[in-house]
Structure 1
């Protein structure tokens, strides 16, 4: 918000009955107020730095609306075992080279009168993996180590996760991934830039009894994985309506026709469902790594748990028929609130795999009576019918549903669970 709106805000506050006075109601006054507040806040930051034994700093680039490159600097300190990340400074270096950024950092330290503190307490540095930051010959980390030989330079964990995901995608099916991104990005811009298409989609949601319109969302913002996860969730939840509206508009809109073909490609849909399961886990890891209080030890444990979860996604097998059933239920069935299970229950009871009413699984009585802890508790029957073990079906045999076509059952299970 521009400082020039301050005078208008004062007028609105007066209309509410607040006495704001007659002086200091222009943009120059609010600029001086802001400077005073910032000075007080910076004093608190400097005091934190003086009261800690060790510190590190994080630097990352950003761009303002004019296109100028800005460098954000944060200080990490520890007080009584509590880790704190505190904003220190944002400003422009002369250029994006490591040398000029290094000079900019030292100027900031001198401006805030913390050069001596940083000289004796700085032990760590974190940035993204750009060459001007982590370069082995002339990167900022190398220039800092020339002055602080003990400095530990760390590649930002959240950035490394993004790069690892992109590398993994390139090693799998890059064409399918690119088609998926083309579909998600194209749907966002189709409805974001065309009011006509947007209103048509909203009417389709109302016609199909959705409580709210689930519009396609944008991917590729600053937190890339969380935005991709949100975009995939919106696509899957609104899939039926999106396909209906795209097919309806395809008669007079070439873009809608192309997106309708992609959205009805069975192989692409299966890929998106699998991608959603993987991205959901990585998204939670990404958000965790961005927390202020996270340490390298915490991050290592969380990464190990996530890796175990990803391995679990590969451990199941599923027949093509079962996969087809799950995808059909997820994409075409009505919502849980509108679903009537009576027909499905009757279909199951009359099928060859259904069970009669009152059926309960019979369990064997332990041969060694010492294994029974409570003889008075109700247990399995020992009648002749109970001894007919040939009619029993083990849990493993009852749940087995595999074929030569390998597919991840856990992927679809977690995906269905997250879309309820």
Structure 2
């Protein structure tokens, strides 16, 4: 009988495991677990960046996944690490995009805009619009440059250095660069020494384009200047903005009043200022929605004995202006006009907008304002305001006639908008860049030149 000792069995197991390369298998398994946990952490950081969440959400999301049994490892859990991961991912994605662009060599457009950093330094935001892997053209962020000089030569020098840094050299730009888009600042579109003029002397095939959204804001500004009745309306809304923006106490009291009325608290900003027209619509819409809550807060503050007599008089005057028929009608008129402009502005800001689509949208908007100037009661909000005038009540609040408050003439107001738009659109159509762009679209198709 052949008896195998325990020691002999152990020796056989050792030899067997040696043949199986257990150490190498264990190392590979450990590496696989580490890569899996890193993969989960990177996906979490990408989610935060994609959804515009603060980096401080990262530790909480990691903790939640650990509770749910997800393998997230033991490191890379801080908000600082999340920042580094997002920067790394964005760098890799940008390099992949640019590598594809350098290989396929599609036509591209450079979009730039000046801004100011928190340290009050001038910066240049650079975007590219092009086709990636023969797909539909997309717009993506390239870089943020801190300008050493805000002259045209200084901007051109740093812009070209930025493009060359990412592999888009002079030969590539001469072959593929077809468009340059910016705002209407003289340093950008000046006929003699503007950035576009000097770039075109270097790249003759370049088409310059004044951003349509900036043109929209200029048209709105021109219309407001010619319609002086809007000054009282904008001054009153600016007063409301200062009242709730500068005083946390007033904002808390308004929040309580909003809860009692049963609507949502909305932010009151400035109107018809330097921001996009969509921001003005949000402010006017906030006042329209919170009208009853604003009235209740202003009337409560006007009889609050804890406030000074001057403050109580101020709140009483604001409440009186709020309940005037003139203000309600002006509010409805501005709602109708700004809603139309907001929709157009957001459409023009779309990443996949085409030049031909923009032309159709602008023509449609001209027709809308012409129709509204002939029939101002066609607007939904202005019609509601006129009905409130007849009933003497708006959102449950009794209205009063105040001869000191000026009512904006709806026909004149809409005519000013239509005229400003028509003049702005005429300038666009007379622009050689527009004519050339439309010619290239008809000749080569939308895919390259929209």
Separation in structure 2 between the aligned mates of residue 214 and residue 34 of structure 1, nearest angstrom: 33
- State the partner residue of 2:329: 270
Give yes or no for the alignment of 1:201 onto 2:263.
Answer: no
- CA deviation digits over 1:317-352, x for unaligned, max 9? 77xx997434456962459xxxxxxxxxxxxxxxxx
- CA deviation digits over 1:27-74, x for unaligned, max 9? 886676455423321222213423243111100123333223221111
- State the partner residue of 1:217: 268
Separation in structure 1 between the aligned mates of residue 252 and residue 87 of structure 2, nearest angstrom: 46
Separation in structure 1 between the aligned mates of residue 161 and residue 131 of structure 2, nearest angstrom: 24
Give yes or no for the alignment of 1:83 onto 2:137.
Answer: yes
Contact 2:298 2:319 in 1 (8 A): yes
- How do 1:322-333 and structure 2 match up within 5 A? 324-327=386-389, 332-333=394-395
Contact 1:6 1:30 in 2 (8 A): no
Separation in structure 2 between the aligned mates of residue 159 and residue 237 of structure 1, nearest angstrom: 28
C-alpha distance 316-132 of structure 1, shift in aligned 2 (>3 A)? same
C-alpha distance 163-48 of structure 1, shift in aligned 2 (>3 A)? farther
Measured on the aligned residues, the alpha-carbon RMSD in Å equals: 3.6
- State the partner residue of 1:345: none
Larger helix proportion, structure 1 or 2?
2
Query: How many residue pairs end up in the alignment?
Result: 335
Separation in structure 1 between the aligned mates of residue 177 and residue 280 of structure 2, nearest angstrom: 36
Separation in structure 1 between the aligned mates of residue 376 and residue 160 of structure 2, nearest angstrom: 57
- State the partner residue of 1:314: 373
* Structure 1: 5+ residue stretches without partners: 336-405, 412-420
- State the partner residue of 1:94: 148
C-alpha distance 234-139 of structure 1, shift in aligned 2 (>3 A)? same
Separation in structure 2 between the aligned mates of residue 33 and residue 407 of structure 1, nearest angstrom: 54
Separation in structure 2 between the aligned mates of residue 21 and residue 90 of structure 1, nearest angstrom: 34
Give yes or no for the alignment of 1:226 onto 2:285.
Answer: no
- CA deviation digits over 1:244-278, x for unaligned, max 9? 33233234424423422432343343223212211
Contact 2:115 2:122 in 1 (8 A): yes
C-alpha distance 91-27 of structure 1, shift in aligned 2 (>3 A)? farther
- State the partner residue of 2:342: 283
Describe the SS at the equivalent of 1:314: helix
- State the partner residue of 1:161: 216
Contact 1:10 1:20 in 2 (8 A): no
* Structure 2: 5+ residue stretches without partners: 1-48, 304-308, 378-382, 398-408, 415-450
Separation in structure 1 between the aligned mates of residue 257 and residue 55 of structure 2, nearest angstrom: 43
TM-score (norm 1): 0.69
Contact 1:61 1:69 in 2 (8 A): yes
Separation in structure 2 between the aligned mates of residue 5 and residue 144 of structure 1, nearest angstrom: 43
Contact 2:129 2:140 in 1 (8 A): yes
Separation in structure 2 between the aligned mates of residue 43 and residue 70 of structure 1, nearest angstrom: 22
Describe the SS at the equivalent of 2:130: strand
Separation in structure 2 between the aligned mates of residue 275 and residue 123 of structure 1, nearest angstrom: 39
Which of the residues 315, 319, 325 maps onto 1:256?
315
Displacement, 1:182? 2.1
Which of the residues 151, 172, 178 maps onto 2:206?
151
Give yes or no for the alignment of 1:246 onto 2:298.
Answer: yes
Contact 1:10 1:25 in 2 (8 A): no
- How do 1:18-417 and structure 2 match up within 5 A? 21=73, 33-34=85-86, 36-50=88-102, 51-78=104-131, 80=134, 82-115=136-169, 116-173=171-228, 176-207=229-260, 210-219=261-270, 223-251=275-303, 252=309, 253=311, 254-316=313-375, 324-327=386-389, 332-334=394-396
Separation in structure 2 between the aligned mates of residue 32 and residue 273 of structure 1, nearest angstrom: 48
Describe the SS at the equivalent of 2:191: coil
Describe the SS at the equivalent of 1:82: coil
Contact 2:328 2:385 in 1 (8 A): no
Displacement, 1:157? 0.6
Displacement, 1:124? 0.5
Contact 1:48 1:77 in 2 (8 A): no
